[in-house]
Structure 1
Amino acid sequence: MAGSSSGPPSLMETLFQRSLEDLIKALRADSPPSAAVLARAAAEARREIRASDPSTKAVAAQKLTFLCALHGVDVSSSAFHVLELLPSPFFLHKKLAYLAASLTFSPSTPVLPLATHQLRKDLSSPSDPAAALALELVASAAASADLARDLSAEISSLVSSPRPRLRLKASAASLRLSSLLPVDRLFLNLRSPDPRTVSSAINVFCELSAADPKPYLPLAPDFFRILVDSTNNWISIKVLKIFSRLAPLEPRLARRIADPICDHLRRCSAKSLAFECVRTIFTCLDGFDGAIKLAVEKIGEFLGSEDANLRFLGLAALSLLRPIHLWAVEENREVVARSLADADGNIRREALRLIMAMITAENLPSISAILLDHAQRSDPDFAGEILAAVMAASCRNSYELVLDVDWLVSLLGELARHPHFAMAEEAERRLVDVALRFTDARPELARLARDLLIDPSLLGNPALTEVLTAAAWLAGEYAEFARCHVELLEALLQPRAALLPVRARAVYLQAVFKVLVFLLGCRRQDDEDEDDDGESNRALALIEASLDPLTESRAVELQDRARNVLGFVRSLKEARAAPGYGGLVDFAAAAFSAELVVPAGSVVVVVPDGILLRDDLSELDAILGSEVLEASSSSSSSAPPSSGAERRREQELFYLPKDDFPAAREAPRSDGDGGGHVGGSSAVDALIEKLVVTGTAGKMKMKARPAVVVKLDEGEKKKSSPRRSRPSPPVRDLLL
């Protein structure tokens, strides 16, 4: 072309301008388009948008929008020329300009403030299409805070506009501008006869209440009216979401919405609305046994469906139940058990999550045994998830569910040997942590370490390197619990140990040093009879033969540790007949005699005499109740009156008289007997019976958790449940 690349297009270029369709065909011919092709197309469109002809400019803006939206081409240099099209009297040109601005502008675009005047004119225009285009730009990601602040008055007037189309779009735009628009105007749309306007307003309030529901509690009467009268399922779903956030703020609201939600659940055929009703009942109406029973019946329909999506929703709904309603899980135990073998991976995971949520200290060993047996028959991915879930449950909150620490040690060993186990680092950390915390578990840990070390097949599995490293450390640190020290040295020095990485082999050599020192110390205390002397000689000969090749290893750490051990062995041989032999052994034993502590731990604090520590701190409410009441009263009295107090007082009849409601801090309960309420442990026991496919879970003799705990982690304190804040004066005026 003869035209300049930086100036406006020539007349010939304007006459033969390519359309958007021509550009798309050219790009598809070079699919995927190269950077050079995109650069040429963008340069051509930038040159064309400088033309004085509005039609040429509009086509160029259309092509730049396409290149920016689909190929990420930077078109910020043409932002001013896009703004030149906004005042166009041709609606098509105006529409293309607003589309280009919405998709290519950002809040940091320098020329964006220049659009304020034209946006204000279009928002005030009697033409609905022009005002709708302006609203779309204001509601897009291109709008800045300054632009929204300057146009807030116009948008507020459109929220209550008599024109339905604009009122609908203004309600949607108010979501992005919620910090600048008064809610009172948007509240009026809840009473609009136009279902689309109501739907738009409900969507906005649903999104806003997700961040902070408290300011929208006075609108509960309007939401309730929509819940009762609406025939639109999606509007009802949004209203239920809002009520699920408002009900925890005002307990009396739960009794008000219980009957309408149950009515919806009985008569609705839409599964989406039925699930939302169930979710709201499980999360907000757990004190209403009649509603819970109805929801559980509906969940039974979901679980018995042939649709995998509905079965998944049924399991997800059961996981929302509080612990006091585990009888519902017991009623559906067969379905939950079968779901572990479902073909759908999401259903299997949800069933596993539901089972793990029911674990208690009493049933942890039984459920773990069944799940480990099930993991043997599962695919590798799901088997790994089962093993991870079992380990997480057994180690939760510093082993709070473990009654028998020896069982925990055997569980960690069984997990480590599972072919699909992929948490070797976590197992290593837990083995060491248990050894440092519980003194009674150390003999069992030493036995487990010996079993892991003497198994040569484990050395060829790179995934178990960390577990074997922990086993070697345990074998050396607690060598006093080993039955045969020479056997332990043979396991640590076996030739297949060369398959381990340098870090693990270094721990092996350190364990050899510790086991040797303990062996020699024991033999010295036993006055070294002939048998013991022969065992010591075998140990020394084995160490010399195995470590001598490592003195020339390329790994400096291995070479250093091997030379240290061999030097100690040769010193022992030289001093064996000398009087200082015993002192050398005692000196080496003293080097390893210090007690190790839990990382970042602290010593257990001894309770002073005369102080009684109580588990139940409910008396604090009686002691501090007056102070909390005075503090809340003083803060409430200083609060300014609400600007919407008159409107809120108009809704005071929404709630029943105060005497008919339970106290503000008292959970509402119905008079039923709980509908076959069963304790959590019996529900899980019934579930376990159905989980067993082959074999039965062996009964384990439970021992009391050892009272001696060497170290505790810092900051492991039980969190008290937060106290419910008192409602603000405007809300109290409405409720009371």
Structure 2
Amino acid sequence: MASPSLMDTLFQRSLDDIIKGVRQQQSSTESIFISKVIEEIRREIKSTDLQTKSTALQKLTYLNSIHFIDMSWASFHAIECISSPTFSHKKIGYLAISQSFNESTSVILLISNQLRKDLKSSNEFEVSLALDCLSRIGTVDLCRDLTSEVFTLMSSSKVFVRKRGIGVVLRLFEKYPDAVRVSFKKLVENLEGSDSQIVSAVVGVFCELASKDPRSYLPLAPEFYRILLDSKNNWVLIKVLKIFAKLAPLEPRLAKRMVEPICDHMRKTGAKSLVFECIRTVVTSFTEYESAMKLAAAKIREFLMEDDPNLKYLGLHALSIMAPKHLWAVLENKDVVIHSLSDEDPNIKLESLRLVMAMASESNLVETCRVLVNYALKSDPEFCNEILGSILSTCCRNVYDVIIDFDWYVSLLGEMSRIPNCQKGEEIGNQLIDIGMRVKDVRPELVRVGRDLLIDPALLGNPFLHRLLSAAAWVCGEYVEFSRNPIELMEALLQPRTSLLPSSIRTVYMQSAFKVLIFCIRSYFLQKEEMTSEVSDLASKLECSESSDVATGKALVQSDRDEGFNPRESNQSYEDPSVLDTGVGQTSTPAFMKEKSFMHESIVNLLNLMELVLGPLSGSLDVEIQERAWNVLGFIELVRQEFSNPLIQKEANLEREKVIASRVVEWVHDAFSEELGPVSVTAQDRVLIPDELVLKENLTDLEAICGGVELPSPDSFSLTSPYYGEVDGFSISNLQGEEDSEPSTESTSLLTEHRKRHGLYYLPSEKNKILANDYPPANDPSSGINTNDDTEDLVKLADQSLVSKRKPNYAKPRPVVVKLEGGDAAPVVSKKPELEDDLLSGAIRDILLGNEAKAASSQSNPSDKSSSKRKGKAKHVILPGSKENQAVGEQPNHENPSSRQSQHRGHGKVKSKKSRGKKNGDGREGDGEKEREKISDHHGRHKSRQRADAPINVAAQTPDIPDYLL
């Protein structure tokens, strides 16, 4: 494209014109206007006139920062602008480079010479631009090449330049750790300066360095202590306090010396920022000093009494830091904490919520959770979920250590899921499953709560609760033996509205329904075997009676068997003592089996219901749904012969198929009967990694492989349109077996409505009434959440003591909670990785402590040397060209630029005892001469390294600067 004409240059639109033009555009025409401006910029930026080029680059930089327009294509033009002698052009170019360049920019190496030139400029503003750019985009190569220039600027007579040079040191140390050996002396010397701006910059650098590895900076504690006593700059004092907060836990003697000066600042200063930093330092690192903690608590009370919401928030935040070890400070201010839950500021509400949960204990957990749940009903959605999340995280802490009554907690989880704004379905579901696996005694209540969740239609339409419904379905299927009415669970799992759920949730419903079916069929088989045994015992007893009675009894029994008589279908139950109490030994039946009974016709209707619902799903487009449907249908076909017409069951082949079906049911039940338990968090770490397996730290390679592939959403699901027609021979009467011996109660209104609307899919009772149900209604207002409480409950809660001195007496003991030796994975617990020493920390320790640091690190655990080498983790970092590297006889790395530079450092000879010639085993002279030649070739590197390893006595002794940097 040709260069712009003179008219285009004269009438070039400025940045103000672009801003006004963007603001005047409508939302529909804004993109069109920006595209037109980009075309103009592409044409103008190629101009040979630097004024035109810089103006175009300025407009492009604005569009990139506001509208995220890509400007990587203009990298070279930005370099052209910084080479201009005009300061305005240079400023625009440096801004563009700082904003758009990164380590992968192809032309980043072209700015190295220009940065060096500007760093040596006499104009302090040009130097400032170069330093600011280096601090933002400095790479390993740039930091290595420009270390000498930055070192020179740290000694500049201009305070403005020296202050910025000190700030850039942090970037140099991060990218190029060898710069520590060059610049650390000047950095420590500036710490003793008298100018407050210089001291502030140096303290800021050390504050950032100490936050990563504070132990390396313990030798500088006397200098920081002097600044704490003498400095009048609040900003410097705040930074020094941050440093001491990191150093004090490492050295107890230092903490004892620091308490009094910090308390003096807390009493005398009027700056709220400095007072708060003193409070935070005391409550984090000086918790063992009671007088300091009481003073900090008094200052926190002053913050809480302020009208300024910012100061009130800081007071609450300081209390939250004190809460884990000094709960008494929170209890003294509990009235303010409770009232802060109703504050308008969301940050204040969050902090007060954390403090309320910190005060929760075994004695007041039930009342606290009740008030908070009621308060969540009246809160906005965001704070409502914060309340629910706080309750969940507090109750599951230390594997539910604070919970005594698990039945209450499981009911609370069910109530929380019905709050309209609840979005914690996944967390609640995880805890339902985890509690079911850990606490056996709570499983009956868990199944009851799961049943209530499954029949509640309001939950099906909330996508945030789908994972909760999946957990409820799994719990009901896994622990179905604790259900009072398994057939009702089957109806809830197969209700038509489950088509609203994603496919991943529907598969859990189908699998749970399969488990319920297996349980019902096996229970029927056990009851049948029990009846056969009872009849045999009755017949044997009758043989011992009078002959006429015996003959009559045998005739009756044989007649009943020939006619397919089923005692469970008669009006008298075999559990009636008047029939079975004959004095013979009773058969052993599980406790839960004595409460339930299944008729032959009930099992047949269950099979028909499963076929009716799962039949259309066998052609689903989702393969998981299709596979599970076919599995269940195949099982039903296999056991169908067992429940055929009893009058036809005399044939030999059918009798054989019945035996096979019974065995298959037993096998499948045994597969489901294995109890599942929690998994340790260290289980994966115990798996040995194969030697041939190469693990990468991340999966960035997949971006190039699957860059154009759009993965489906995890919530997506496919549905078919099944046709539910009439089924021949399907009777809608007499589908329910014998009801429970207890009096039947009315079912829930929701379930009744479903039965009226979809009567074909429900199993009615044989007496034409709703199934007997011993459960309370799912959404019964009398048993649900009390929504009439107002905010006065929060005030009442403040009047009560949130921490009792004695544990309450419960009617029943706390159930056993399964805990793992290797560690437990609570649903809402995360673990932070530990920080490891890096090259920077090792280099600073070598300089400050010299050979003492190396000796300490080597003598700390000499028996672990071999193991640390095998694991690839060394306790002491060996830098290129260090004494340890030479001691093990390693060759210098000629590929490393820093190693090449170290070969030219200093001059002189170094003698070594190891260079003396020795004889080998075969009598020949060793390699002593070659060793001496090798040492003489690299004597300069030895000399400079000896100077670098010399310890620093705070600031008096530092390594000499290498000749090539002077």
TM exceeding 0.5 = yes
1:574 is aligned to 645
Per-residue Cα deviation, 1:685-708 (whole angstroms, up to 9, x for no partner): x99942789xxxx98826444448
Q: 1:592 aligned to 2:707? A: no
Q: Distance in 1 between matches of 2:124 and 2:463?
A: 69
Deviation at 1:100, TM superposition (A): 5.2
Deviation at 1:391, TM superposition (A): 2.2
Q: Distance in 2 between matches of 1:96 and 1:66?
A: 10
1:70 equivalent among 63, 69, 94? 63
Deviation at 1:75, TM superposition (A): 1.2
- Opposite residue 701 of structure 1, the aligned amino acid is Y
1:516-665 maps to which residues of 2 (within 5 A)?
A: 516-527=520-531, 528-529=567-568, 530-531=570-571, 536-537=599-600, 539-540=602-603, 542-543=605-606, 546-547=609-610, 549-550=612-613, 552-556=615-619, 557=626, 560=630, 561=632, 564-565=635-636, 568=639, 571-574=642-645, 578=650, 584-585=661-662, 587-594=664-671, 595-598=673-676, 601=679
Deviation at 1:406, TM superposition (A): 3.4
2:135 equivalent among 107, 116, 139? 139
Alpha-carbon contact 2:615-2:629 (below 8 Å) kept: yes
| Distance change >3 Å, CA 435–CA 583, structure 1 → 2 | farther
- Opposite residue 132 of structure 2, the aligned amino acid is E
Deviation at 1:203, TM superposition (A): 1.9
| Distance change >3 Å, CA 33–CA 210, structure 1 → 2 | farther
| Distance change >3 Å, CA 156–CA 470, structure 1 → 2 | closer
- Opposite residue 540 of structure 1, the aligned amino acid is I
Q: Secondary structure at the match of 1:244?
A: helix
Deviation at 1:349, TM superposition (A): 1.6
Deviation at 1:293, TM superposition (A): 0.7
Per-residue Cα deviation, 1:517-573 (whole angstroms, up to 9, x for no partner): 244135325414425599514523642664453364245447543574476356323
- Opposite residue 171 of structure 1, the aligned amino acid is I
| Distance change >3 Å, CA 45–CA 700, structure 1 → 2 | farther
Q: Distance in 2 between matches of 1:442 and 1:293?
A: 47
- Opposite residue 195 of structure 2, the aligned amino acid is D
Alpha-carbon contact 1:521-1:589 (below 8 Å) kept: no
Q: Which moved more, 1:230-239 or 1:352-361?
A: 352-361
Q: 1:513 aligned to 2:512? A: no
Deviation at 1:328, TM superposition (A): 0.5
Deviation at 1:441, TM superposition (A): 2.7
Q: Distance in 1 between matches of 2:91 and 2:481?
A: 84
Deviation at 1:505, TM superposition (A): 4.4
Q: Secondary structure at the match of 2:194?
A: coil
Q: 1:220 aligned to 2:221? A: yes
Q: 1:42 aligned to 2:46? A: no
Scaled by the length of structure 2, the TM-score of the pair is 0.58
1:156 is aligned to 151
Q: Which moved more, 1:241-250 or 1:132-141?
A: 132-141
Per-residue Cα deviation, 1:16-41 (whole angstroms, up to 9, x for no partner): 66655566666667655635423332
Q: Distance in 1 between matches of 2:52 and 2:482?
A: 85
| Distance change >3 Å, CA 701–CA 148, structure 1 → 2 | same
Q: Which moved more, 1:216-225 or 1:537-546?
A: 537-546
Scaled by the length of structure 1, the TM-score of the pair is 0.74
2:958 is aligned to none
| Distance change >3 Å, CA 228–CA 542, structure 1 → 2 | same
Deviation at 1:186, TM superposition (A): 1.8
2:193 is aligned to 192
Q: Secondary structure at the match of 1:231?
A: coil
Per-residue Cα deviation, 1:478-501 (whole angstroms, up to 9, x for no partner): 343334455555555666666666
Q: 1:690 aligned to 2:802? A: no
- Opposite residue 41 of structure 2, the aligned amino acid is A
Q: Secondary structure at the match of 2:210?
A: helix
1:172 is aligned to 167
- Opposite residue 148 of structure 2, the aligned amino acid is A
1:159-558 maps to which residues of 2 (within 5 A)?
A: 159-178=154-173, 179=177, 180=179, 182-321=183-322, 323-360=324-361, 363-453=364-454, 464-485=465-486, 488=489, 502-503=506-507, 505-507=509-511, 509-527=513-531, 528-529=567-568, 530-531=570-571, 536-537=599-600, 539-540=602-603, 542-543=605-606, 546-547=609-610, 549-550=612-613, 552-556=615-619, 557=626
| Distance change >3 Å, CA 596–CA 464, structure 1 → 2 | farther
Alpha-carbon contact 2:517-2:606 (below 8 Å) kept: no
| Distance change >3 Å, CA 496–CA 76, structure 1 → 2 | closer
Q: Distance in 2 between matches of 1:380 and 1:25?
A: 39
Q: Secondary structure at the match of 1:324?
A: coil
| Distance change >3 Å, CA 551–CA 394, structure 1 → 2 | closer
Alpha-carbon contact 1:132-1:166 (below 8 Å) kept: yes
Q: Distance in 2 between matches of 1:32 and 1:461?
A: 37
Deviation at 1:295, TM superposition (A): 0.8
1:609 is aligned to none
Q: Distance in 2 between matches of 1:344 and 1:174?
A: 40
Alpha-carbon contact 2:18-2:59 (below 8 Å) kept: no
Per-residue Cα deviation, 1:165-185 (whole angstroms, up to 9, x for no partner): 221221222222234252221
Identity %: 39
Q: Distance in 2 between matches of 1:551 and 1:92?
A: 75
Deviation at 1:287, TM superposition (A): 1.1
Number of aligned residues = 632
Alpha-carbon contact 1:477-1:514 (below 8 Å) kept: no
Deviation at 1:155, TM superposition (A): 1.8
Alpha-carbon contact 2:453-2:459 (below 8 Å) kept: yes
Q: Distance in 2 between matches of 1:434 and 1:25?
A: 61
Deviation at 1:366, TM superposition (A): 4.4
Q: Distance in 2 between matches of 1:124 and 1:494?
A: 80
Q: Distance in 2 between matches of 1:538 and 1:520?
A: 11
Deviation at 1:461, TM superposition (A): 5.8
Deviation at 1:324, TM superposition (A): 3.4
1:701 is aligned to 810
Q: Distance in 2 between matches of 1:309 and 1:146?
A: 44
Q: Secondary structure at the match of 1:82?
A: helix
Q: Which moved more, 1:283-292 or 1:444-453?
A: 444-453
| Distance change >3 Å, CA 687–CA 524, structure 1 → 2 | farther
Alpha-carbon contact 1:465-1:504 (below 8 Å) kept: no
| Distance change >3 Å, CA 598–CA 92, structure 1 → 2 | same
Alpha-carbon contact 2:494-2:509 (below 8 Å) kept: no
1:123 equivalent among 97, 110, 119? 119
Deviation at 1:163, TM superposition (A): 2.1
Deviation at 1:728, TM superposition (A): 6.0
- Opposite residue 37 of structure 1, the aligned amino acid is K
Alpha-carbon contact 1:264-1:274 (below 8 Å) kept: yes
Q: Distance in 2 between matches of 1:415 and 1:298?
A: 38
Q: Distance in 1 between matches of 2:373 and 2:32?
A: 53
- Opposite residue 128 of structure 2, the aligned amino acid is A
- Opposite residue 56 of structure 2, the aligned amino acid is K
- Which consecutive unaligned segments of at least 5 residues does structure 1 have? 51-55, 606-685
| Distance change >3 Å, CA 702–CA 174, structure 1 → 2 | farther
Deviation at 1:511, TM superposition (A): 4.2
Q: Which moved more, 1:73-82 or 1:92-101?
A: 92-101
1:16-55 maps to which residues of 2 (within 5 A)?
A: 34-48=33-47, 50=48
Alpha-carbon contact 2:200-2:236 (below 8 Å) kept: yes
Q: Secondary structure at the match of 2:45?
A: helix
